[in-house]
Chain A
């Protein structure tokens, strides 16, 4: 049972798009390469899933940074009076925003995308609809960034409860956390698309993320570190997040912070690009 090819198809020079000789039905609206409807559709899935387990998610994303805050802030706070002119607990509560963002975004992205891709086959289901990999990745990263922005700001709220006096620019903290979260959610997605096994995340956690948050200026100033480590810290996006959050909270914003925002934007863009490409390679053989 065969159908004769259309004239254009026979010549082999048909233009891109539908071949009306084969398919005479009316053409639907042509979809764009990146569609907001696709992104919001995938985000809606995340939101509905989140709604079903928001308590567990909120607990996991906020408790660990708060434990760090209490342990370091109240513990070391008895030994250290002030750091860079601020009470130590205020110093730590602003610093742990970066840690909270890391936990809420990179880890969720790594494990979440691996499970959805390899075990639940959720990505196969989504990609069988008119959604492409860049839309899928953008939506998931965007959602984690929003989540990271909200959970990530929680340590500042705890700090305020312990006496931190915030400047009005503290309102920008969730935005800084979201921007940082976008980059780390994308990096988690990228890592998930690179590793062979879910067990490989142990290497990433120990060898990459732990040093990143320890050398970000979260618990101690970097000024006392050797020059090489200080230069390395300038390449650490978490360090820029820490500095921006402190400057917003203490009202110390200056032009250097614009460069820090630029660095976070660059980090986010590079990680997004890597995440899209590696995820595409992993999903579309």
Chain B
């Protein structure tokens, strides 16, 4: 399958901080790839390098066949970007925000009105097109940001933490929207630190920690590879949990602390080699914590 985006050995440091330290990443055309990592893993820096707004120290980026940053402008003409931070013009109406960007994205003059109307429809703001953005709710603004990035029918969509800070209901709305785009064949790269978001939307997940990819693959494969089929959650007082953890690790099992319990990964077939506990299916969350050492937000 041809690639919409290929990133090889990407590096970026700010002084002594290595924000991105040799990242490899691939987004096959027509798929959604999740870049999953904790805060500070280098996801947003990577996104800025993909739009030419941060210069890499080393590595190569090919987006839609264009070499970045040299041909970033050509690539940006065919990409849509949804930033983590809302940068809409709050003193302008939703319609004016879209009109301006339709022009910046070089939508032909005769097609601009239709593109703006379609954008308002995507954002489900057709009846609030004249409303000032400052008066819209957080969810509406986030939908408008996504619609703004879609005005020119991009072939690659970059979503930087698309649902961060939104309430669960709005998050689900946006998931449906992103899922629809993927179904229509738009290639998507989405950074997130929400496990469920990556699990639901991404065909493939690249888990990043400290600026580098620690593993990549479809969520189910990652789960099977790192957490097996079942996880046994064993509860007990803190002192007892320490003992159980040592016992499980001595028996060759990977474990993770979940606050009130010890989760033993790949526990299928462990039988009575482990204390009794609550058995559940292994999840991407288990893989994330195991690979990044970070607790889930």
> Bound pair: A and B?
yes
Residues of B within 8 A of A40 (CB): 103
Minimum CB distance partner of B217 in chain A: A1
Task: Identify which of B77-85, B122-130, B161-169, B193-201 touches chain A.
Answer: B77-85
A63 within 8 A of B: no
Residues of A within 8 A of B52 (CB): 127, 284
Q: Verify A3–B28 contact, CB threshold 8 A.
A: yes
Task: Identify which of B65-73, B113-121, B176-184, B233-241 touches chain A.
Answer: B65-73
Residues of A within 8 A of B78 (CB): 28
Residues of A within 8 A of B55 (CB): 284-285
Residues of B within 8 A of A224 (CB): none
Residues of B within 8 A of A48 (CB): 92, 96, 99-100
- Nearest Cβ on chain B to A111's Cβ, whole angstroms: 15
Residues of A within 8 A of B106 (CB): 31, 37, 130
Residues of B within 8 A of A49 (CB): 89, 91-92
Minimum CB distance partner of B75 in chain A: A130
Task: Report A91-147 residues with CB < 8 Å from chain B CB.
Answer: 120-122, 124-132
B297 within 8 A of A: no
Encode contact with A along B86-105: 1 for CB under 8 Å, 0 otherwise. 01111110001001110111
Residues of B within 8 A of A3 (CB): 1-3, 6, 26, 28
Task: Report B191-243 residues with CB < 8 Å from chain A CB.
Answer: 204, 216-218
Q: Verify B204–A122 contact, CB threshold 8 A.
A: no
- Cα-based distance from A42 to B53 in the complex (angstroms): 18
Q: Verify B104–A130 contact, CB threshold 8 A.
A: yes
- Nearest Cβ on chain A to B201's Cβ, whole angstroms: 16
Q: Verify A17–B66 contact, CB threshold 8 A.
A: yes
Task: Identify which of A18-26, A64-72, A159-167, A183-191 touches chain B.
Answer: A18-26
- Cα-based distance from A37 to B6 in the complex (angstroms): 29
Residues of B within 8 A of A85 (CB): none
Minimum CB distance partner of B206 in chain A: A1
Residues of B within 8 A of A42 (CB): 104
A77 within 8 A of B: no
A255 within 8 A of B: no
- Cα-based distance from A122 to B83 in the complex (angstroms): 11
Residues of A within 8 A of B85 (CB): 121, 124
Minimum CB distance partner of A46 in chain B: B100
A16 within 8 A of B: yes
A2 within 8 A of B: yes
Number of residues from A at the complex interface, CB < 8 A: 44
Minimum CB distance partner of B102 in chain A: A41
- Nearest Cβ on chain A to B230's Cβ, whole angstroms: 26
Residues of A within 8 A of B70 (CB): 16
Given A1-B216, A130-B106, CB of A120 within 8 Å of CB of B67:
no
A283 within 8 A of B: yes
Q: Verify A124–B73 contact, CB threshold 8 A.
A: no
A44 within 8 A of B: yes
Encode contact with B along A24-57: 1 for CB under 8 Å, 0 otherwise. 1101101100000110111011001100110000
- Nearest Cβ on chain A to B29's Cβ, whole angstroms: 8
- Cα-based distance from A24 to B14 in the complex (angstroms): 36
- Cα-based distance from A16 to B75 in the complex (angstroms): 13
Given A28-B77, A37-B106, A130-B106, CB of A19 within 8 Å of CB of B65:
yes
Q: Verify B76–A128 contact, CB threshold 8 A.
A: yes
Q: Verify A45–B100 contact, CB threshold 8 A.
A: yes
Residues of A within 8 A of B71 (CB): 16-17
- Cα-based distance from A49 to B97 in the complex (angstroms): 10
Q: Verify A22–B2 contact, CB threshold 8 A.
A: yes
Contact of A130 among B26, B77, B155 (CB under 8 A): B77
Q: Which 9 A-B pairs have the closest CB atoms?
A: A23-B65, A18-B65, A121-B87, A128-B81, A41-B103, A130-B77, A129-B104, A125-B87, A41-B104
- 27 A-B interface contacts by CB (under 8 A): A1-B28, A1-B216, A3-B1, A16-B71, A18-B65, A19-B62, A22-B2, A22-B6, A22-B65, A23-B64, A25-B155, A27-B65, A28-B78, A41-B104, A45-B100, A48-B96, A48-B99, A52-B92, A122-B89, A128-B53, A128-B76, A129-B76, A129-B77, A129-B101, A132-B73, A284-B54, A284-B55
